[in-house]
Chain A
């Protein structure tokens, strides 16, 4: 999950995660039956729950779990103890992909994840993001040291440029002494194995990044059943990334804050199944409570993709509400644009400009 800013009064009830979990529970029985999920039969036969499948990480020989744990929402858990329980249960369930970013909750997301992963670092594929927002390589390398320290490790599996969302970001990133040079340097130093970039705003900005030719290993983008009919990353960016053999990391499978689900357009299971049925390596999921983890793990275990016909039917159902972008606020408003990026780009703070 890329960075949404903190809940505020104009958004949705603060207990929306709970609402989603309840909605999931209500819808769960039918969805699981309809999906022909193998969990129940495997459990009935005494073989234990099905594992979460793994997929190849782009052109590399690494494999990661198709469900990833988002770092932003982990830092929003009720307490460190809850966050630790989420990390432990995720590990036990077979989640190996862990997402984070230097700027999430002023470092708390990285600190909590580092502490909770203690002793299990080697079992996971650990990603975090660098938040220069146009600043130079030196800033990036300093942030890398902060991230490694907080995550209690000597290397990352993946280090990505965070929040490439402003129209001049590709130029600033590619400038001499910019953050791209930091990516190459960190690889040379053995502090990161792979590199990539993320953003939630506009397919044109992602395509600009790709067109400049830097050999990214991964690219992260919002992918969900609403995106398909509004400034679509699925249509415009996903095929380009795949053509280049890059690992594609999907995020915002439920539309960011879950608003579309609250409006009853789809169930959490449908939304997650759709995202995971796309040709992505992993779907990074925002999880801030054990109940949400269990809901999403239930979809990921023994995952069977939707058929193209099912996906098309869902796209068509969503098109009716998706055409103006009000269910993808990360594209149509500034709500999900983080504080540090706004400050670097001269935009007002979230308090002054919430949407």
Chain B
């Protein structure tokens, strides 16, 4: 009997979730729906309870596949998805909520988060009269979600603005890894303490830096990065997993998890700082690489025609059928 994945308190909600979570974007990267369903089943069997997703991932495919994987197992998991208004209205948000519930084959979410607070004017737009914040209240009142939060990968200043404007979020999601920990714009140093102070649950993401370039270049090992991220004061580290191989690699770290000591963490930070002070291993902060087509369109940023999701979007617009394999 292998060691268990630890469960941790989700802020002040009274809920506990597994310290490792399954990311929804990478689930949509899996080759076929059957493999995606297998991945979800093995994750549940291993003790993962936290499942991440988002309305806009692969134009709904990620939610659709997760919904199929959770069939008959919905009550065993803590299910989160995200709403993708990107500055648009609460009414649009509630429409997206209905689509998410339908694709995920459930009547309620455990957590519904505002997706991708990336641009400097996003907080003002979210809090505007008829902004997405008002949809969060409504969804809670209707019993369609138990908790609410927001996510973003771009700028600590944007997160801090969201917190300062005062909405009582249950959770806040952010990139957390040793590159972030030493970069000039650091979620770990600037945002994480503020979130903890408010009793909100911090959800970590991008433990490998989004593209895992630092691993590919031999700067760090995946185990080191995941251990670092899970050693921070977070409720869960959401991990992008697109194969059973990566799932098993990450489960090895999560099972019977032993946090790094502060000295170990500091040594890793110093190693990373020496090679990453220009932001090279955090492309989600330095570039638009991680800003989804929907976010770019809503804000008037150019699209990247080589992006997989953009290609798929163009294909659908041209009359193609969704690629549910």
The answer to whether A345 touches B280, judged by C-beta atoms less than 8 angstroms apart, is yes
Query: Cβ of B60: which chain A residues have Cβ within 8 Å of it?
Result: none
The answer to whether A230 touches B120, judged by C-beta atoms less than 8 angstroms apart, is yes
Query: Cβ of B299: which chain A residues have Cβ within 8 Å of it?
Result: 324, 326
Residue of B nearest to A208 (CB): B184
Confirm or deny: B277 has a beta carbon within 8 angstroms of a beta carbon on chain A: yes
Q: Which 7 A-B pairs have the closest CB atoms?
A: A323-B121, A324-B119, A168-B277, A166-B278, A355-B288, A346-B280, A334-B287
**B307 smallest CB distance to A (angstroms):** 9
Apart from A204-B184, A334-B286, A347-B278, list 9 A-B contacts with CB within 8 A: A10-B302, A167-B183, A169-B278, A231-B120, A323-B119, A329-B302, A355-B288, A355-B301, A355-B302
Query: Cβ of A329: which chain B residues have Cβ within 8 Å of it?
Result: 301-302
Residue of B nearest to A348 (CB): B283
**B111 smallest CB distance to A (angstroms):** 26
A169 to B278, CA, bound (A): 8
Query: Cβ of A347: which chain B residues have Cβ within 8 Å of it?
Result: 278, 280, 286
The answer to whether A333 touches B287, judged by C-beta atoms less than 8 angstroms apart, is yes
Confirm or deny: B199 has a beta carbon within 8 angstroms of a beta carbon on chain A: no
Confirm or deny: A325 has a beta carbon within 8 angstroms of a beta carbon on chain B: yes
Known: A9-B305, A355-B302. A168 touches B278 (CB 8 A): yes
The answer to whether B301 touches A326, judged by C-beta atoms less than 8 angstroms apart, is yes
**A236 smallest CB distance to B (angstroms):** 14
Query: Cβ of B287: which chain A residues have Cβ within 8 Å of it?
Result: 333-334, 353, 355
Query: Cβ of B121: which chain A residues have Cβ within 8 Å of it?
Result: 323-324
The answer to whether A325 touches B119, judged by C-beta atoms less than 8 angstroms apart, is yes
Residue of B nearest to A344 (CB): B278
The answer to whether A353 touches B305, judged by C-beta atoms less than 8 angstroms apart, is no
Confirm or deny: B300 has a beta carbon within 8 angstroms of a beta carbon on chain A: yes
Confirm or deny: A11 has a beta carbon within 8 angstroms of a beta carbon on chain B: yes
Confirm or deny: A61 has a beta carbon within 8 angstroms of a beta carbon on chain B: no
Confirm or deny: B242 has a beta carbon within 8 angstroms of a beta carbon on chain A: no
Mostly, the A contact residues are: loop
A324 to B283, CA, bound (A): 18
Pairs across A and B, CB under 8 Å, 12 listed: A10-B302, A11-B302, A167-B184, A169-B278, A231-B120, A323-B121, A325-B119, A332-B288, A346-B275, A347-B286, A348-B283, A355-B304
A4 to B119, CA, bound (A): 22
The answer to whether B278 touches A321, judged by C-beta atoms less than 8 angstroms apart, is no
Confirm or deny: A45 has a beta carbon within 8 angstroms of a beta carbon on chain B: no
A40 to B280, CA, bound (A): 53
> Which chain B residues numbered 157 to 199 have a C-beta less than 8 Å away from chain A?
183-184
**A320 smallest CB distance to B (angstroms):** 10
A324 to B116, CA, bound (A): 13
The answer to whether A167 touches B301, judged by C-beta atoms less than 8 angstroms apart, is no
Query: Cβ of A14: which chain B residues have Cβ within 8 Å of it?
Result: none
A295 to B120, CA, bound (A): 34
Confirm or deny: B77 has a beta carbon within 8 angstroms of a beta carbon on chain A: no
Known: A321-B300, A326-B300, A333-B288. A353 touches B283 (CB 8 A): yes
Query: Cβ of A353: which chain B residues have Cβ within 8 Å of it?
Result: 283, 287, 289
A9 to B122, CA, bound (A): 28
The answer to whether A167 touches B277, judged by C-beta atoms less than 8 angstroms apart, is yes
Query: Cβ of B283: which chain A residues have Cβ within 8 Å of it?
Result: 348, 353
The answer to whether A354 touches B304, judged by C-beta atoms less than 8 angstroms apart, is yes
**B2 smallest CB distance to A (angstroms):** 38
Residue of B nearest to A167 (CB): B184
Residue of B nearest to A342 (CB): B280
Residue of A nearest to B86 (CB): A324
The answer to whether A325 touches B120, judged by C-beta atoms less than 8 angstroms apart, is yes
The answer to whether A167 touches B279, judged by C-beta atoms less than 8 angstroms apart, is yes
A325 to B301, CA, bound (A): 9
Query: Cβ of A332: which chain B residues have Cβ within 8 Å of it?
Result: 119, 288, 301
Residue of B nearest to A171 (CB): B277
> Which chain B residues numbered 267 to 290 have a C-beta less than 8 Å away from chain A?
275, 277-280, 283, 286-289
A167 to B278, CA, bound (A): 5
Query: Cβ of A321: which chain B residues have Cβ within 8 Å of it?
Result: 300
Q: Chain A 167-178 against B: per-residue CB contact (8 Å), 1 yes, 0 no?
A: 111010000000
> Which chain A residues numbered 210 to 267 have a C-beta less than 8 Å away from chain B?
230-231, 263
> Which chain B residues numbered 113 to 160 have a C-beta less than 8 Å away from chain A?
119-122, 124
A204 to B155, CA, bound (A): 14
**B240 smallest CB distance to A (angstroms):** 18
**B170 smallest CB distance to A (angstroms):** 27
> Which chain A residues numbered 121 to 139 have a C-beta less than 8 Å away from chain B?
none
Known: A167-B183, A324-B119. A354 touches B306 (CB 8 A): yes
